[in-house]
Amino acid sequence: MQGKLDKIANITLVMKTLDNNLPFNLQIENQLFSSGYELVAGGDEAGRGPIAGPVVAAIVVIKPGIYIPEVDDSKKLSSKKREKLFEEIITMVTDWSVAVVGPDLIDRLNIYRATKFALKVALNSLSIKPEALILDALELKGFSGKQISLVKADEISFAVACASILAKVIRDKIMEQYDKDFPGYGFKKNKGYLTREHREALELLGPSPIHRKSFEPIKSFYGQLKLFEKV
């Protein structure tokens, strides 16, 4: 119960003390800076929804004074814009890290736990330890600093938006390589999401090694295969 109250308090604090001189997506970071936190991190992931490929998590650390006006939630940006911003972000931020968790581990842990694991790996891989961490609707156990979990944090936090761009760009590059390794599924275009063309490719080719066996319709495919083997 206390955790839920803390979340409400965090959101209320931000809404009550908006600084009209600052961009909206820098308000949370500014409040942390004003409270004495000098190293603020934002974390986000890409690839929770697809039926193929990895989930990729990124953590970005910023100090006061770091801001890129064009940064926004990665889903709102074109691929060309994301790639341009990727280079700016890794050049300007204080520190950053990315972790990739493949489909085998996703199947073993489930996607929620695999996402948290990826974020923990990325966090522990940083060269600089952040004093505060902002996440998108997740909490990480073991982080000793201040932690803020907000729904759609990538829309209201600059640091989280930066992390979302890094995770998205890197995952897209991975899926483009998988398109070459496993042709026929359209991974370059669909990035592992279940489109009509992707479903048709599955019916024709069957699952590839990077399809997630715990996700439908892959799960049913292997379930039917086991039944067939028992006959």
Q: From the annotation, which residues make up the binding site?
A: 44-45, 136
| Run of H or E residues at 62 | strand 55-62
Binding residues for a divalent metal cation: 44-45, 136
At which residue do the structure tokens 């060309």 appear?
A: 80
Helices (H), the chain: 2-16, 27-34, 79-92, 103-109, 111-124, 153-156, 158-181, 187-190, 196-205, 218-230
With a CB cutoff of 8 Å and minimum separation 6, the contacts of 128 are 39, 61, 94, 95
